[in-house]
Amino acid sequence: MMLDHVATALREALVRVEAASSTAELRAAETELLGKRGPFAQFKAQLGALASPADKRDGGRALNEATQRVSAALAARRADLAAAERAIQLEAERLDLTEVRIAPRRGHAHIVTQAWERLEDVFIGLGFQVAEGPEVETDWYNFEALNTPPNHPARSEHDTFYLDYGTPGSTLLRTHTSPVQIRVMQTLTPPIYMVMPGRVFRNETADATHLAVFHQIEGLVVDRGITLAHLAGTIEAFTKAFFGDGFTSRLRPSYFPFTEPSGEFDIRTPRGDWLEIGGCGMVHPNVIRAGGLDPEEWSGFAFGFGIDRMAKERHGVGDVREMYSNDLRFLEQF
C-alpha cells in the first residue's frame, strides 16, 4: 500500500521538478518535496507505524530510492536551468567590440630617435659602446685637434655657427660629431670601440634635403694593429646588420683632414642601386696625437654618417624639414 503511495509521490515529484521553469521555482519545489513537510518526510514518519519488518525494510528502501531520484532530478534540472539562465544572461550582455573607440594612449617616438636607437643597437651588437659630447664646442675640438688648423680650406666648407662666448671665434656649434673622438681618446685608454651619435649644426639655409640642425653618428676604433681592412670589414658588418643580408658595401677614396687614407662608403641595395652613406678613414696620426695617444703605438679608424638620412630613407620622407615641424599629423604616422 505504502509502496504505491511512494511511487505515486515520486512520479508527481519528478513531474513537478521537470515543470520548474526557473531556479527560484526549482528551489521552492525542492523545499516542498524534500522538506520536513514534504511527502517523503511524511512517508518516513509513517514508516515506524508499519507492522511488518519486511514492509518497513521495503518501504525504507523505496523511500531512499525515491528521494535519491528526486535529488538527482533536482540537480539535473538545476544544471539545465542554470545553463539556460547563464545563456540568457550572456546573450543580454552582448557587446559590439568594434564600437570601442577609446583613443590609443601611446606616444610616438620621433623617427630620428628611432633611427638613432636602431643604429646604437647594431653597433652595441658589434661590441661598441656609446659616447656623447657637448653640442657647443671649442674651435680646438671641432677643427684644430682634427688636423684642421685655422685658415685650413676645409673649414670654409663647414659653414660654422660661431657664438659670442669667450674670445671671438673660440666657441662654436659643432659642425660634426668628430670632436667627440678627441674627447673619448682623452678620457679613455685604448682599446676604444665607440660610436658617438649626436646633434650637429651647419649654418646653411634649410631645404628639402638639408637642415641647419641635424644628427650624425660617428664611429671610432683605436687599438693596436688597426688597418684599412678592419674599417672595410666593420662597414660591411654594419651594412649587413643594419640594412640586411642582401646589402653590400664599398669604399672609395676621398678626403678629410682628420683621416688618411680617407674614403667614402656606399651601400648597394638588393636592387643594385648604390647609395652614398658617409665618410670614413684611418685616423690621421695628428688626430691620435691630439687625443693624447702615441700614433706609433695606436692606430684606428673612424666613420660617420647622417642619422636623419637613415630615417628619411626608411620612411620615404620627401622633405626633411617636415621631420622637425613637430606637427602631430607627422609624428603620429610613425
Counting Cα atoms < 13 Å in the Cβ hemisphere of 190 gives 22
**CB nearer other proteins, residue 67 or residue 148:** 148
User: Measured from the CB of residue 223, what is the shortest distance to other proteins in angstroms?
Assistant: 6
Which amino acid is located at 248 in the chain?
A: T
Grid coordinates standing for 299?
692606430
Does 323 contact other proteins by CB under 8 A?
Answer: yes
Question: Is there binding between residue 124 and other proteins (CB under 8 A)?
Answer: yes
Other CB atoms within a 10 A radius of the CB of residue 179 amount to: 27
Contact (CB, 8 A) for 34 and 70? yes
Shortest Cβ 97–other proteins spacing (Å): 22
Q: Give the interface segment with other proteins, choosing from 12-20, 29-37, 94-102, 202-210 (CB under 8 A).
A: 202-210
| Residue among 221, 293, 302, 320 that touches other proteins (CB under 8 A) | 221
CB nearer to other proteins: pick between 2 and 130: 130
**Binding residues among 5-24 for other proteins as defined by CB under 8 A:** none
- Toward other proteins, which CB reaches closer, 2 or 193? 193
Q: Is residue 203 part of the contact set for other proteins (CB under 8 A)? A: yes
For residue 122, the Cα-to-chain-centroid distance in whole angstroms is 16
Please, which residues have CB within 8 angstroms of residue 244's CB and are 6 or more apart in sequence? 270
Give least dist CB 229 to other proteins, A: 3
Distances (CA, A) of 213 to 60, 118, 136, 162, 198: 99, 20, 13, 14, 11
Q: Which of 65, 132 has the CB closer to other proteins?
A: 132
Q: How far apart (Å, rounded) are the C-alpha atoms in residues 218 and 126?
A: 14
SS3 159: coil
CB of 277 to other proteins, least distance (A): 14
Contact residue for other proteins among 27, 84, 165, 292 (CB under 8 A): 165
> What's the CA angle centered on 33, arms 30 and 36, to 5 degrees?
100
Q: Which single residue is written with the C-alpha cell 658588418?
A: 237
Cα–Cα nearest to 119, from 266, 218, 37, 248? 218
Q: Find the shortest distance in angstroms from Cβ 284 to other proteins.
A: 7
Stretch that binds other proteins, among 28-36, 65-73, 77-85, 155-163 (CB under 8 A): 155-163
| Rounded Cα distance, 279 and 296, in Å | 24
Q: Is 36 exposed, middle or buried (0-12, 13-18, 19+ CB in 10 A)?
A: exposed
Question: Regarding beta strands 192-201 and 129-130, do their DSSP bridges make them parallel or antiparallel, or are they unpaired?
Answer: parallel
Residues between 283 and 322 with contacts to other proteins, criterion CB under 8 A: 284-285, 299
- x/- site string to other proteins, residues 55 to 94, per CB under 8 A? ----------------------------------------
For other proteins, the binding residue among 18, 204, 207, 297 (CB under 8 A) is 204
Q: Name which of residues 92 to 121 contact other proteins (CB under 8 A).
A: 104-110, 112-113, 117, 120
- CA dist 207 and 18 (Å) reads 84
258 Cα distance to chain centroid: 38
The reply on whether position 227 binds other proteins by CB under 8 A is yes
Shortest Å distance, C-beta 318 to other proteins: 18
- Which positions from 244 through 273 interact with other proteins, judged by CB under 8 A? 250-255, 260-264
Among 89, 91, 205, 271, binds other proteins (CB under 8 A): 205
- DSSP SS3 for 32: helix
Question: Pick from 2, 41, 154, 315: which binds other proteins (CB under 8 A)?
Answer: 154
